[in-house]
Amino acid sequence: MTRILVVDDEPQIVRALAINLRARGYEVRTAATAAEALQQASAHQPEVVVLDLGLPDLDGTEVIAGIRGWSDVPILVLSGRSDSLDKVAALDAGADDYVTKPFGMEELLARLRAMLRRGGRVEEETPEVRLGEVSVDLAAHRVVRGEETVRLTPTEWHLLEVLLRNPGRLLSQRYLLEEVWGPGYETAQGNLRLYMGQLRRKLEPDPARPRFLVNEPGMGYRFEP
Amino acid sequence: MTRILVVDDEPQIVRALAINLRARGYEVRTAATAAEALQQASAHQPEVVVLDLGLPDLDGTEVIAGIRGWSDVPILVLSGRSDSLDKVAALDAGADDYVTKPFGMEELLARLRAMLRRGGRVEEETPEVRLGEVSVDLAAHRVVRGEETVRLTPTEWHLLEVLLRNPGRLLSQRYLLEEVWGPGYETAQGNLRLYMGQLRRKLEPDPARPRFLVNEPGMGYRFEP
DNA sequence: CGACGTCGTCAGGATCACGTGAGGGGCGCC
DNA sequence: GGCGCCCCTCACGTGATCCTGACGACGTCG
């Protein structure tokens, strides 16, 4: 099912959008603040984002930038201000479309369809990753080793997800910490080592000599496919 | 140069658009009728199409369909009617965006940029630099020599990065030292020699006779592509 | 021919980063 | 309240990395 993330601080708008979208068969997640939006976006990997610019905690363009840093998901911006400069800023920040309130529901749905149509052409995803005898299903959040399934804690999963979405690339500790623990945790490197160890213990054939979750001293970590 | 096709039957609008777009470095073709538009689109393969719905000979949605039959080029629709049903029809026919007249030139340009950005993303960028049989992927922080990957320490990477980002240019020891080790280390030239040697040993086909990481006595070092 | 400066290489120890173990606090569940 | 799970902090051994100094090779110039 197509996942949509709706971000707006006005509950009645969120409600109206959610009802209309669910009625058309979309799976809808909602967020009322920028922080919540960024978290939901990374956690649930929506296929399109509907974003209100007037959020209480952060400027809308910063939310766009925060998502564009790691994802190409189409973003449709919603705004009360019909100010033209606003549109320019949002679109240049990386948004894909712009609608001003009040908007017609039919028009919004048509624009969403257009975005999904366009975006759907690009991604051809295979959500199954193999690490030796272990297979990871990113979509189903499942890890299987031989016959039995492996249990991962939320933090372990989050870390693994970030690594697996960047196969072969070296990711700095700073980036990993910010991605998994959020901003402000850039110094908790002991933590990162700990969880990397846990993942290796659960996934690697020989945890003492890692083959897939590799460290480059002083640089960061890398998932070697 | 980026090619844009502008389709409108009102000469003054075509003229205004063409002037503004050309001023921003786009290559502009124009068409006043649907027939002309379809012919131009197939002849010149524009990277984005700006299309007015109110054409004399054919309905706008038919033009969209006529283009969509063979091309994924982004289409921005322009219309005098702010009727919502119109937008829905155009977007569902395969348009990617919709702007109503009168429109702000800045907004239109921003939307065009957004569309071009999205379309251009299809091609995956891999900034790969080659040194003989060794290939360096700057983004993934990865060096491959034949089959196996070469491990570089942080300092080695930093130095290599500076060199590779200035292909063919001669870089003084002073500059390299300041760039890699930071200010205050301008006198540690032994260091620079050491790490240059390490890089050559790991990357050059014959480390004793360097072909890519060259020294110019008394001057500095140069990466020879 | 010899002095000099620059460059490349080698080997030492100091320092830093990484992996691992043990233990405490917070939270939900029985 | 007790229990289990998850998260985080701290400490220590080990290995890698970095810097320093010394040495020989080469080319230049007096």
Q: Give B138's contacts in chain A (Cβ within 8 Å).
A: none
Distance CA A8, CA A51 (A): 6
Chain A contacts of B88, Cβ < 8 Å? Answer: 106-107, 109-110
DSSP three-state, residue B68? helix
Residue of A nearest to B72 (CA): A118
Q: Do B85 and A106 touch (CB under 8 A)?
A: yes
Q: What is the pLDDT of residues A89-125, one digit of tens each?
A: 888 888 888 888 777 777 888 888 888 877 654 444 4
Encoded tokens for B199: 């890089």
Helix (H, G, I), strand (E, B) or coil at A126: coil
Q: Is the dihedral of CA A212, A213, A215, A221 positive or negative?
A: positive
Distances (CA, A) of B70 to A58, A64, A151, B66, B79: 42, 32, 48, 8, 24
B106 touches chain A (CB under 8 A): yes
Q: Is A151 on the interface with B (CB under 8 A)?
A: no
How many Å does it take to go from CA A197 to C1' D8?
A: 15
pLDDT value of residue A122: 43
As a CATH number, domain B3-118 is 3.40.50.2300
Q: Are B3 and B26 in contact (CB under 8 A)?
A: yes
Percent of chain A whose pLDDT exceeds 70: 94
From A211's Cα to the closest Cα of chain B, the distance in A is: 13
Distance CA B225, CA B166 (A): 10
Per-10-residue mean pLDDT of chain B, 225 residues long, equals 89 86 85 86 84 85 82 85 74 85 79 76 60 91 92 96 90 93 85 96 94 94 93
Answer yes or no: are the C-beta atoms of A156 and A195 closer than 8 Å.
yes
At which residue do the structure tokens 């205050």 appear?
B184
The angle, 0 to 180 degrees and rounded to 10, between the axes of the packed helices A84-93 and B105-120 is: 10
Q: Distance, angstroms, CA B184 to C1' C19?
A: 34
pLDDT for the residue numbered B126 = 55
Between CA B167 and C1' C2 the distance (Å) reads: 40
B11 φ, ψ to 5°? -55, -40
Residue A59 CA distance to nucleotide D12 C1' (Å): 46
- The set of strand C positions with any atom below 7 Å of a protein CB reads 6-11, 17-22
Number of helices and strands in chain B (H, E)? 8, 12
User: What count of residues does chain B have?
Assistant: 225
How far apart are the C-alpha atoms of B103 and B97, rounded to whole Å? 13
Token pair 């702010």 in the structure block, residue: B82
**The Cα angle at residue A170 between residues A225 and B189, in degrees rounded to 5:** 135
Q: What is the pLDDT of residues A185-196, one digit of tens each?
A: 888 899 999 999
Half-sphere exposure of B172 (CA within 13 A, CB side): 5
Q: Does A116 touch chain B (CB under 8 A)?
A: no
- pLDDT tens column, A131-177: 988 999 887 788 999 888 999 998 999 899 899 988 999 999 999 99
Looking at the complex, report in whole angstroms how far the Cα of residue A3 sits from the nearest Cα belonging to chain B. 20
Exposure of A185 in the CB half-sphere (CA atoms within 13 A): 15
pLDDT digits (tens, 9 = 90+) for A16-33: 888 888 878 788 888 888
| A88 and chain B in contact, CB less than 8 A | yes
**For position B213, what pLDDT does the model report?**
96
Residues making up chain A, counted from first to last: 225
Q: What is the mean pLDDT of residues A55-63?
A: 83
State the DSSP string of A148-200: EEEP--HHHHHHHHHHHTSTT-EEEHHHHHHHHH-TT-TT-HHHHHHHHHHHH
Decide if A86 contacts B106 (C-beta within 8 A). Answer: no
Q: Does domain B128-223 have CATH number 3.40.5.10?
A: no
Domain ranges in chain A are: 3-118, 128-223
Phi then psi for residue A13, to 5 deg, are -70, -45
Instruction: Decide the pairing of beta strands B27-31 and B3-7.
Output: parallel
State whether the beta carbon of A19 lies below 7 angstroms from any atom of strand C.
Answer: no
The counts of H helices and E strands in chain A are: 8, 12
Distance A211 CA to C20 C1' (A): 18
Name the DSSP class of A203: H
Please tell me what DSSP assigns to residue B125: P
- Give chain B positions within 8 Å (CB) of A92: 110, 113-114
In chain B, positions 191-220 with C-beta closer than 7 Å to nucleic chain C are 193-194, 196-197, 200-201, 207-208, 210, 215, 217-220
